[in-house]
Structure 1
Amino acid sequence: MTPYAIPGSAIHTNNGFWGKKQHLNATVTLPAVQARFAETGRFAAWDLAWQEGQEGKPHIYWDSDVAKWIEGVAYSILHHPDPALEAFVDRLVDKLVAHQEADGYFNSYYQQVEPQRRWQERQNHELYCAGHLMEAAVAYHKATGKDKLLKALCRYADYIDRVFRVERSAAFLTPGHEEIELALVRLYEHTGEERYLTLSRYFLDTRGTQPEKQYDFTKDDASYDQSHQPVRRQREATGHAVRAMYLYAAMADVARHTEDAELLEACRRLFHNVTTRRMYVTGGIGSTRAGEAFTYDYDLLNDTAYAETCAAIGLVLFARRMSLLEPDSRYADAAERALYNGVLSGLSLSGDRFFYENPLELDPAQPRGGWRNPLFPITRRPSVFDCSCCPPNLNRLLANIGEGVYTRWGDTLYVHQYMDSDCTDPAAPLTQRTAYPYEGRVTLTYTGDVPLRLALRIPGWCRSFTLTVNGQAAAYTMERGYAVMTVAAGAVAVLDMAMPVTYVEAHPRVGEDAGRVAVTRGPLVYCLEGADNGRTLRDIRLDAAAPVTVEEHRTFGQILRIPARRRADFDGLYRPATGDFVSLTATLIPYHAFANREECEMLVWTLADNLY
């Protein structure tokens, strides 16, 4: 049975949580990234007018930044038409087409800076940039019907296929930074050209079969870019976290299209390792700045957490693809955890500032940079980075947030995510009305003409729920985390999930979190900030037995107030333990909203009394 993923273009968010995020992305974030890219020369690089000695020297990854931004525009204008942005993209497309080589090649760095070094440096992102351009081309054609960019990238893909698979004339075999593998599958799905799927599989099959050039700092440790073993034999998530997620997403794609059982089993193993051994409670992944990488099982430090925004986005992409391979709620659970926490924390509430790293603890007093200690993440979101991969990645994810909400498997419609929205795809004639993630009640109205099997995900955080259809208790069965029932035309189903505050503990081997808890409610992880709770947040003890007050908040959506205590301050450094405490009411805000006020401490994992 071939699953059908309902496209994000068919999901129309209303004025709920994600509708507001999409509107902010369309009106603030996309223009903000556009302005920063203009300032830094990323768009001008496509003029191919740079000469040695001038400012604005193109960088090896700039094309990928621009491509992701174009992809974000494509998704956004489907729901928020913007003729000016569309015209701007058209001009960029004209530049690319005008400067594309006769053989199909386009790369603004190599065509201007090192024209004689094409396909010589495996780690210089040529294939990575090409992949993102392919994704942009598919998205822009779907959004506008304009095929100029698509035709150009098909020519480029044909050229890459000839160089790497047919002639094997490049100086390396596989991409140093994976991405083109999943992009080729998207190009195949859109055009029907089998050659692109074949090339994607070729890159996967070839990876890890023989030594290839690595960065000097890795000292030839090929696990950094997941080329230490053939992909079907890999069991643990290793190396650069973004590279890993893009690779695993492509593996899932190819496994689905080719019915490759061995590749599917590898995807299952890797997903399990990521989500049960190497993922933060926020859905962040990649715990170390050294190589922006995974380390080892249960190594999840908080104040030096790297947890790159792009890595969390990559986890969402991987999880969505796993949901297309088999209906299991674990995949949508992981996507949800990342989306509401470790992804959104990468964007300011104002929509124009960004975090590359997303730590779970901040102390502004910690020295940063220089010789002191370069490991602690920054405490404030800047408007742009030198390596600005995350901002346009947020653009495209938010603009296409509806992707991954529904999957149709034969006569069964799976509801993976909950958001206030209307679906216009005839395969999923459904509306959702909900205040999720702040409330657990979701009203789903089926507007189809014939009976339908409806499978509603019961999130992993949910311990109690009721389900009714047309006001009567529904008859359903639980299948791999989904409540499955048959509904008639015009049915109104109400899923009401209890959403209490939960104190979450980490596995005993996560030593960093021993004796501490994370506070969650529904899909949201909460944190303490010094702006509300003063300094020395690590000393606050929440009273887990006390009632929690859930308050609506204009800025943060909802906040929690929990009775707590902390030790009284004293002179000196040490003293005999006295049990001298000061009472307070602790305020917790959603983790994704931290660092939007004054610079201050932040803490996710906190002490708690009366837990058991």
Structure 2
Amino acid sequence: LWQKFVKVFSTREDGADNGWRGEYFGKMMRGASITYRYLPDEELYSIMEETVRALLATQDELGRITTYPTEHELCGWDLWVRKYVLVGCLYFYDICRDNALKESILTAMQKHADYLIANLGEDKTDILATSDLWGGINSSSLLEPIVELYKLTNEERYLTFAKYILSRGGCTGGNLLDIVEKGELLPHEFPTTKAYEMISFFEGVLAYYEATGEERMLSIVRRFADLVWENEITVIGCAGCKSEQFNHSAIMQAEPVSDKVIMQETCVTVTWMRLMERLLSDLGEAKYADRMELSALNALHGAVNLYHIKQYCKEERRLVDALPFDSYSPLLHHARGVGIGGYKTFADGGYYGCCACIGAAGTGLYPLSAATRSEKGYAIHFFESGTIHLTDSAVIEEIYSPAAGTLSLLLSGFPKTPVALSVRVPSWSNDPSCTLDGEAVDVTAGSYLTLERVWNDGARLTLSFHPALTPIRVNKRTAIRYGAYVLTRDEEKQAGNIMKKIVLPYEGAVYYMETPQEPESIRLRLKTRKGKDVLLTDYASCGKHWLAPRRRITVWFEVKKSILGMRKTKIKREHS
């Protein structure tokens, strides 16, 4: 497979159909590099190194590494491909252990970028004219790796080129930076509405802020992130309920769609997570971790093809062999496995897709960013039972129960000097509580608890987040979250009509927890007035057998409003 990803740079086969096969290398290399950082594996590293060496060998005398021939370049998805060449090389460069190879990678990246600088800009080819798709936003997303190359080399020409890309505003029809700054339009009203590429462009704007400290750029990205969060991000943490475009998904997500409609591209999920992680790293604000958690535990994990099931290919009009990630995520009475995003075949046989390539960047990034260094110590952003190795000696044993909403941290091996430990208290917490070695500590939902002290061996920090059912109502339909998990009805798990209206008991909503079944994280039953309980499990575990006769799932359903009362009804919890 990796050989196929590289071979297209020799055959230049994207030139024949203005394709994007060349993106596969960069996406997969980025995901593999992130995964390797979290779980080092020598076989994986060997494959990556061999692949990068093979890619460098395809560079022509002009410095180009692309899947487009010289007689048909700077069009279609050519700049998108060249962007991902830089992305893949930059990520492998960070983990490369061979200094000579690192030097070769750096030289190749600079020649590759210098060719673009020589051909794009004022009095040259306009970057927005290099693609007739989506107003050129795909080409403008080249910004992020160009800025990263500037950070790596400190060569002024790359910063100058980045400034030029910014000056063009991202797309035809209007300057996206000015549009976001003015705040007069919502994302679905922008000159271009392609969700994945637009988020990727703003990731480059944030990288520019990181390189220059220009506060205006940070302000624009923060405003953009909030606009998308408030108007486009759905209940499961993705966006784009109209094909792969922004369409005011916050409102449209609860509307029925036909079986032929694709929605909520996995590429959008991962790129949104990347932007949130970057804002979290730059600013340390808990809301970005909350948003990233929602996407990871629902949209991303839900897209993992756990059982290697075949998927339907719209282009071939048939089922094809499994890819590791599903490309689209349903919400309302729909099934998985209905299409392969970014599907392309190779000239020598085989196929792949964009979402299958990008998924590993998300599944690697989420655990990798769970615990990070802070200014005076360490921060824990996301929770999973296991061992956190902060240094050779400093270790935290973590026990987390998503159903109970409890987190226990046992510390050992810390230095005998003060160290700050910050732990996120999620915004979904209800009256959270905390103890340190049995002594109560004040905590606030939607923030970080930070304690700076000398940590004795055996110090134990315990937090209780008290998750509860949280109803969300859109267009006369209801979705329910339990903590960060979106609860889902799955017709394979429970007989009957999953779209039948739920009529709750007169006393309100009452539920009881059950032991989750593999691969579930949350399993509970909601009592109804007529006595038949409704089974609800976490979204990521649902719809996994998408070739089964009963394969539809739904996160949106009708609940009798007069009984639920939404904000007024107290949702009670019982134990099974």
Instruction: Check the 8 A contact 1:46/1:92 in 2, yes or no.
Output: no
Separation (CA, whole Å) in 1 of partners of 2:342 and 2:27: 15
Distance in 1 of aligned mates of 2:342 and 2:218: 38
Residue by residue, what CA displacement relative to the aligned partner does 1:277-312 show, whole Å, maximum 9, x if unpaired? Answer: 2221101111211x5333476332454371111111
- Amino acid of the residue matched to residue 118 of structure 1? E
Show the counterpart of 2:108: 152
Q: Where in structure 2 are the equivalents of 1:150-229 lying within 5 Å?
A: 150-165=106-121, 168-169=124-125, 172=128, 175-177=136-138, 178-207=140-169, 212=172, 222=173, 227=176, 229=178
- Judge conservation of contact 1:252–1:325 (CA < 8 Å) in 2: no
Partner of 1:372: none
Alpha-carbon contact 1:240-1:294 (below 8 Å) kept:
no
* Matched residue, 1:355: 326
Matches of residues 21-60 of structure 1 in structure 2 within 5 Å? Answer: 34=1, 41-48=4-11, 60=19
Structure 1 pair 81–273 and aligned structure 2 pair: CA distance change class (3 A): closer
Report SS of the residue matched to 2:326.
Answer: coil
Cα distance between partner residues in 2 of 1:477 and 1:547: 27
Question: For the Cα contact (< 8 Å) 1:308–1:356, is it kept in 2?
Answer: yes
Retained in 1: the 8 A contact 2:299–2:540?
yes
Q: Which amino acid aligns with 1:73?
A: A
The answer to whether the aligner puts 1:300 opposite 2:253 as a matched pair is: yes
Aligned partners of 1:157, 1:343: CA distance in 2, in Å?
A: 32
Q: Is the 8 A contact 2:22 2:66 kept in 1?
A: yes
Q: Which residue of 2 aligns with 1:584?
A: 532
Contact 2:240–2:264 at 8 Å: present in 1 too?
yes
Task: Mark the runs of 5 or more structure 1 residues left unpaired by the alignment.
Answer: 1-33, 213-221, 365-377, 566-581
Judged with a 3 Å threshold, the aligned counterparts in structure 2 of structure 1 residues 259 and 363 are, in CA distance, closer, same or farther, namely closer
State the AA in 1 paired with 2:219. Answer: E
- 164-173 or 139-148: which moved more? 164-173
Q: For the Cα contact (< 8 Å) 2:425–2:465, is it kept in 1?
A: no
Write the letter of the residue equivalent to 1:164: L
Supply the AA of the counterpart residue of 1:600. R
Q: Which stretch has the larger CA shift, 391-400 or 492-501?
A: 492-501
> CA 1:293/1:505 → structure 2, altered by over 3 Å: closer, same or farther?
closer
> Matches of residues 294-373 of structure 1 in structure 2 within 5 Å?
294-295=247-248, 298-304=251-257, 306-350=263-307, 352-363=323-334
Q: Distance in 1 between matches of 2:382 and 2:360?
A: 19
Aligned position for 2:494: 533
Q: Distance in 2 between matches of 1:300 and 1:383?
A: 20
Conserved in 1, the CA contact under 8 Å of 2:263 and 2:328?
yes
The aligned counterpart of 1:237 is: 187
Query: Partner of 1:574 in structure 2?
Result: none
CA distance in 1, matches of 2:217, 2:180: 8
Identify the range of structure 1 (336-345 vs 95-104) with the bigger mean alpha-carbon deviation: 95-104
Hey, what's the Cα distance between the residues in 1 that align with 2:481 and 2:55? 47
Change (3 A) 1:242 1:533: same
Structure 1 range deviating more: 278-287 or 86-95: 86-95
Structure 2 counterpart of 1:44, one-letter code: K
Counterpart residue identity of residue 332, structure 2: E
Letter in 1 for 2:85: L
Are residues 1:454 and 2:421 paired? yes
Which AA in structure 1 matches 2:480? Answer: V
Does structure 1 conserve the Cα–Cα contact (< 8 Å) formed by 2:241 and 2:247?
yes
Contact 1:348–1:381 (CA under 8 A) maintained in structure 2: no
Aligned amino acid, residue 433 of structure 2: T
Q: Which residue of 2 aligns with 1:73?
A: 32
Distance 2:391 2:116 in 1: 37
**What is the CA-CA distance between 1:348 and the residue it aligns to?**
1.9
Q: Which residue of 1 aligns with 2:95?
A: 143
Displacement, 1:604? 0.7
Hey, what does 1:553 align to over in structure 2? Answer: 517
Higher RCO by CA contacts (8 Å cutoff, separation 6 or greater): 1
User: Relative to structure 1, is the Cα distance of residues 181 and 552 closer, same or farther in structure 2, using a 3 angstrom cutoff?
Assistant: same
Per-residue CA deviation, residues 125-177 of structure 1 (Å, 9 max, x unaligned), is: 22222222222112212223242434322321233233334773456468531
Question: Could you say if the C-alpha distance between residues 58 and 497 of structure 1 is closer, same or farther in structure 2, counting changes exceeding 3 Å?
Answer: farther
Distance verdict in 2 for CA 1:393–1:156, change over 3 Å: same
In 2, are the aligned partners of 1:278 and 1:294 still within 8 Å (CA)? Answer: yes
Cα contact 1:241–1:294 (8 A) shared by 2: no
Whole-Å separation in 2 of the counterparts to 1:247 and 1:542: 45
The amino acid across from 1:488 in the alignment is V
1:277 aligns with 2:231: yes
1:428: how far off? 12
SS of residue matched to 1:288: coil
Percent identity of paired positions between Structure 1 and Structure 2: 17
Q: Aligned AA for 1:199?
A: F
Write the deviation string for residues 252-293 of structure 1: whole angstroms up to 9, x where unpaired.
Answer: 22223322222222222222222122221101111211x533
CA distance in structure 1 between the aligned counterparts of 2:14 and 2:429, rounded to whole angstroms = 59
Aligned equivalents of 2:412 and 2:500: distance in 1? Answer: 50
Q: Are 1:603 and 2:554 matched, yes or no?
A: yes
Q: Which amino acid aligns with 1:259?
A: G
Change (3 A) 1:87 1:328: closer
One-letter amino acid of the structure 1 residue matched with residue 424 of structure 2: R
CA contact 2:330–2:554 (8 Å) conserved in 1: no
What SS does the corresponding residue of 1:103 show, helix, strand or coil? coil
- The SS at the match of 2:450 is strand
CA distance in 2, matches of 1:51, 1:415: 43
Whether 1:487 aligns to 2:442 is no
Counterpart among 79, 82, 104 of residue 63 in structure 2: 104
Shift of 1:337: 0.5
Deviation of 1:427 after TM superposition, in Å, equals 12
C-alpha separation in 2, matches of 1:388 and 1:104:
27
Question: Which residue in the other structure is 1:14 paired with?
Answer: none
SS of structure 1 residue aligned to 2:434: strand
Residues 409 and 442 of structure 1, relative CA distance in 2, 3 Å threshold:
same
SS of 2:306 mapped into structure 1: coil
Paired with 2:89 and 2:539, the residues of 1 have a C-alpha distance of 35
1:367-408 CA deviation, whole Å, 9 max, x = no partner? xxxxxxxxxxx5557799447111111122223333433454
SS in 1 for 2:522: strand
Is 1:469 matched with 2:425?
Answer: no
SS in 1 for 2:245: coil
Q: Does 1:400 align with 2:371?
A: no
**TM-score normalised per structure 2:** 0.79
SS at match of 1:401: helix
Task: State the aligned residue count.
Answer: 514
Matched residue of 1:361: which SS? coil
Q: 1:118 to 1:382 in 2, by over 3 A?
A: closer
Residue aligning to 1:265: 219
Q: Which runs of 5+ in 2 are unaligned?
A: 131-135, 309-322, 345-351, 570-576
Runs of 4+ in 1 over 6 A off after TM superposition: 49-52, 381-384
- What's the TM-score once normalised by structure 1's chain length? 0.75
For the aligned residue pairs, the C-alpha RMSD in angstroms reads 3.3
